[in-house]
Amino acid sequence: MNHSDQRKKQVNTTRRNFLKTASVLSGAALLGAPAIVRAKEYRLYTRDPGGPFSEAFSKAFYEPFKKATGITVIGQASESEPSGMVKAMVESKNYRWDMAHLSNSTHLSLVELGYLEPVAPASGPGPALSKIPENMRGEFIAGVDIYATVIGYREDSVRKAPTSWKDFFDLSDYPGLRGLRRNPYDTLEEALLADGVKPADLYPLDVERAFKKLDSLKKEVGAWWENGAQSSQFLRTGEVDMLPLWNGRAQVAIDDGAPAKLVWNEALWTYEGFTILKGGPNVDMCREFIEFCSQPEQQAIFTETLAYGPTAPGAFNFISPERAALLPNNPTYFPHMIRIDSEYWGKNKNAITEQFNNWLLS
């Protein structure tokens, strides 16, 4: 019997009792009541992006949830955008994860294939999840954090501060070595904005125009990053003078002493959240965990470690003004940012990625 079958057998033998107590337990957890003692130890496994996410989510979600419910939540780091791993688990019924923290676009591509469970029960979302704005959650995803792709630049080598993607692509007035993400996501939007496309006219993307603009920068790209840790390292060490990167990863470099600043104007934002793998053994407990994570008090905690914004509107009531100033959905920045069309990427990601990879080799 494999690991997945053992876990299924354990949960199925107690599922009837669990379902009887789940609604009561959720209420107790949300009200801060003492943890209900369970006859057996329950465990949930969730994919998270690792690095600062693991620490932040442990403080905000995993440890408090165990204290409130007795359920142990184990975060497991993986590659970025792990849609292939989710597909393999669902198709084989061999679940290493019960849940996965995913970007909105990756979740949409998995919804198209029918590989995710609804995040709320048939009776509807609980009181915490229902307060998350509808543009930050969906039937198959509960938005948890908001992140933005910003321009990060070194003050010690960039003489004139950039203010837009047009400046980032302007090698004459803003000389210096550039970094870029080895991925079309965000990158094509940056090129089109630099080429004069208005935010309202970005989608559907003019892919050929974007590649033509990228051609003008390609030879000046000194480093390509594939994950957040790499981008943070490039900014920290000064391997490049300027690059687009996720604001939370940029903040890590700044906190480590890098003489760097961020450009919030025209930053590209979207959200990430928890999803439940289709047919997994612990769907009801996953929903209980998601409701817990949707509470503003809990989301405020992760912002202390991770400089991403909460999706629960009330979370800012529990965040200091100093920390709020570093978060992308702070009202100072948000009106000047551009939302990524995740539905567009969910449908076109594979085809555009193939074009992008061919462009890199050309």
Q: 228-236 contacts: CB < 8 A, separation 24 or more?
A: 228/49, 228/51, 228/80, 229/51, 231/152, 231/179, 231/181, 234/179, 235/152, 235/154, 235/260
What gap in Å lies between CA 176 and CA 178, rounded to an integer? 6
pLDDT at 81: 81
Q: How many CB atoms lie within 10 A of CB 165?
A: 25
- In this structure, the chain runs to a length of 362
> 84: closest CA among 70, 71, 102?
102
Structure tokens given for 71: 């359920």
pLDDT at 210: 98
pLDDT at 51: 84
What gap in Å lies between CA 329 and CA 56, rounded to an integer? 18
pLDDT at 79: 80
pLDDT at 9: 43
Distances (CA, A) of 105 to 15, 63, 130: 32, 28, 21
pLDDT at 40: 64
Query: Which element (helix H / strand E) includes 181?
Result: strand 178-181
* SS3 (DSSP) at 149: strand
DSSP states of 71-122:
EEEEEEE--SS-HHHHHHHHHHT--S-SEEEEEHHHHHHHHHHT-EE-SS-T
Distances (CA, A) of 193 to 163, 190, 276: 12, 5, 35
> 208: closest CA among 221, 195, 223, 225?
195
What sign results for the dihedral spanned by CA atoms 45, 47, 53, 54?
Answer: positive
Enumerate the H helices of the chain as residue ranges: 3-30, 52-57, 63-69, 83-92, 104-113, 165-169, 187-194, 207-215, 228-237, 247-255, 283-293, 296-302, 321-324, 342-361
pLDDT at 6: 45
What gap in Å lies between CA 324 and CA 72, rounded to an integer? 30
What are the residue ranges in the chain where pLDDT is below 70? Answer: 1-40
